[in-house]
Amino acid sequence: MLAHLTYSAAGFVQTAYIAYPKDFLQPDKLGNKWPGFVYLRGGMRSVGMVKQEWLVRFAKRGAIVIAPTYRGNEGGEGREDFGLEDRADAFAAIRLLQSMPFVDAQRTTVYGFSRGGPLALFCAMEPSLSLQAAIIHGGVVDLALTYEQRVDLRRMLRRVTGGTPTKKAQAYRLRSPIFHIANVHTPLLIIHGKQDIQVDFSHAALLAAACESASIPYTLWLLQNEGHHLHPLDFDILTDRMYDFIHSQAPSPIMAISFSDL
């Protein structure tokens, strides 16, 4: 079942989608309540909107799934941001999910894709959310690096931050989780395609190195022959593996893998 809802975040009315597994009114196999799963989408404005098929994909594995649309989108109030003001939208969506009587707040995982990656990391830095795990898939970790690598995004980034990384260094730093990794309280799963040309693999490499330096538990899955987006059948396989990771809660070594390995 899929629904669209409104909720409050930092004084603004925001919107989100929520998806339920088929038998959500019955206890799940691991306890009396269902795990929670937070899907933080990629893109800006109409590019990369919440994908309803992803919601269904995540929910059918046995979780209650919420996906905020972010401020300024799909009826949400406020102006869209990138990794700063929109953190409140993600935090509030997680708290809403965890407050539901059929959700086990202690078994809540956040999944951030692309632009949602930094939001997922900032969620993992918020101890009051008590997340079980955070999954960063093709995520941006350094906004100034994105400005350097993606010429086509520079106008949007200047609009969001107020200028270039040279002129607005603090605005870029505040939105870049790589500079705040020591604050992470949650085991991380980092997933990145080696052939990704939208968010370069260097972001995942930086994140893994920062986790190593700060002794943050993490697992890195390097998808050898994949880009930013996966074929739906491959994404199904990856989703199964992500849920295996959530249930195991055991960080493993860095792995360079292909879908024949999954």
Catalytically active residues are 114, 228
Evaluate the CA torsion angle 166, 170, 174, 180 in order and state its sign: positive
Q: Are 37 and 109 in contact (CB under 8 A)?
A: yes
Q: Are 123 and 131 in contact (CB under 8 A)?
A: yes
Rg, Å, the chain Cα set: 17
Q: Which two tokens stand for residue 53?
A: 């098929």
Per DSSP, the three-state class of 243 is: helix
Q: Are 4 and 15 in contact (CB under 8 A)?
A: yes
Q: Exposed e or buried b for every residue in 10-32, given b needs 16+ CB within 10 A?
A: eebebbbbbbbbeebeeebeeee
Q: How far apart are CA 22 and CA 181, in angstroms?
A: 37
